Structure 1
């Protein structure tokens, strides 16, 4: 009597695939469902800690009654905003802020464009001049502002001494004594410290333009001005927009130049909205916070305009 035996075959691939997933598979599935969240979580937490939370606190403070000692006397609604906009100094502060921002950014962009074009050429000493341009950027802005304040001092300033020795002025001038004399110097110093970053931004944009484009323009008979207007400027537009918007935000929020040279005086005549906000904290912390909210809203508008312009630029180049 024979017994037939059926060989036992190992489970095939289908059987192995049908086997229930173990703990490692469950962990992998959870990780897949989370997507990029584990990677961006640190950045999100950082933004919440250093951007969102301070903004919430700033808005909350502007709606409270807080004295200079930091004592909270309860909610105030929009009282601090009404007090801020009723301040007779505010119109002049906002006007000077607009003039300051436009003047500094316009001069910075024009001079940086010329310097970037110069540094993009081959000439003896180019490397040395490029290094020299970094000096105003490497130094502290506040230190530079204080240095210029001492240079412009009426009693011991080197500018007055030089002009007196050259017989260009009859007596020492108080260059920072009033708004009429100090505002041009504030613009000059702000442009001086803004040139390095903007020049190198535009220089990087110029160096990305292929030489074949210029050769093609030369073959087509384009003049140097036509080549610059039709080739260089359009291809430089992305770098120009980046430099423009970053300068707008930086200059609008600029504090060290004005505070280091005039502290916004006399009587807030040289104060921009950022400096004015800092001056208000000595009298009313909540009103200062209200001014901060206004400044933050202006910066948001600038960023939104930058995004719109960038989108327009990308659509046009497609």
Structure 2
């Protein structure tokens, strides 16, 4: 007869087990917030895209993929997608190029640097809708400030309605909207890159100077590689913000005339007035496009290597 003489481990005290649950106190509210604010709306959005919904908001039954079929058959759908791509890529690329130059400028010492940094915050701190309204008023064809100045400089014929009606001409209106989007996107990108510049040790530049490196070679071989984490963050946030931008386009042109200046976001909102199911389908496509863009960008930039 054998006797089990193996020593028994002491029971875990209740306080020790309770301490392992302590992180949930800190993580729990964030998880609940994400579930309510992000996951739940996504579920409702996908569910709505598969339902037949009246303009009054009543669910009339299942629609399957009919909403997507009708959306793809919309005459303006392809043009809106192409315009959204031009809008997003153009604004983000120009914003990042200008932000790199501004960050380099603000990183240098010059009289009034603090005031200049404060001034850059203004487009970021101000309401985007308010900024769009100011530009819309400035571009008014009759008495807008921009037309008045151009006319006094002799650069604009006040009697030529085609030249003065900026927001009535789709290419000109789209260009002005992109300019406004760049204007409001610059502060965040510039400060993100500026924080990256200030984290680069001066000793690296001193060593490069001893090796006879030029300013351009230092920037290309030292500054840009070390700025990659900051650039990745700035580009991702800008892509998401610009792609989903609504106030600028809506306040300046309402996406018109005839969807000529509309992106997927304003197109989705316009569809919502009469075709809620199609609008929900457009929302699903928007969400999928953003996820695909983020995944492709993160994989192409090897963001895990930057974090490690």
Is TM > 0.5 for Structure 1 vs Structure 2?
yes
Q: Provide the alpha-carbon RMSD of the alignment.
A: 1.8
Measured after TM superposition, the shift of residue 302 of structure 1 is 2.4
Say if 2:302 is the partner of 1:315.
no
Aligned residue for 1:301, secondary structure, equals: helix
166, 169, 183: which is aligned to 1:192?
183
**Which protein has the larger Cα radius of gyration, Structure 1 or Structure 2?**
1
Gaps of 5+ in 1: 1-16
Measured after TM superposition, the shift of residue 307 of structure 1 is 3.7
User: Aligned equivalents of 1:29 and 1:225: distance in 2?
Assistant: 58
Q: For 1:28-39, what aligned pairs fall within 5 Å after superposition? A: 28-32=15-19, 34=21, 36-39=23-26
Q: Which residue of 2 aligns with 1:84?
A: 71
The C-alpha deviation readout for 1:184-211, integer Å capped at 9, x for no partner, is 1011000000001110110000000000
196, 211, 216: which is aligned to 1:220?
211
* Contact 2:170–2:260 (CA under 8 A) maintained in structure 1: yes
Q: Which residue of 2 aligns with 1:181?
A: 172
Q: Which residue of 2 aligns with 1:75?
A: 62
Measured after TM superposition, the shift of residue 88 of structure 1 is 1.0
- CA distance 1:284–1:233, change in 2 (3 Å): same
Measured after TM superposition, the shift of residue 36 of structure 1 is 3.5
Aligned length: 296
Q: Which residue of 2 aligns with 1:66?
A: 53
Q: Which residue of 2 aligns with 1:146?
A: 133
Q: Which residue of 2 aligns with 1:115?
A: 102
Say if 2:294 is the partner of 1:298.
no
195, 204, 222: which is aligned to 1:204?
195
Gaps of 5+ in 2: 1-8
Q: For 1:154-165, what aligned pairs fall within 5 Å after superposition? A: 154-165=141-152
User: Aligned equivalents of 1:315 and 1:106: distance in 2?
Assistant: 23
- CA distance 1:37–1:297, change in 2 (3 Å): same
Q: Which residue of 1 aligns with 2:257?
A: 266
* Contact 2:229–2:306 (CA under 8 A) maintained in structure 1: no
Aligned residue for 1:176, secondary structure, equals: helix
Aligned residue for 1:97, secondary structure, equals: helix
36, 41, 55: which is aligned to 2:42?
55
- CA distance 1:242–1:159, change in 2 (3 Å): same
Aligned residue for 2:185, secondary structure, equals: helix
Measured after TM superposition, the shift of residue 278 of structure 1 is 0.5
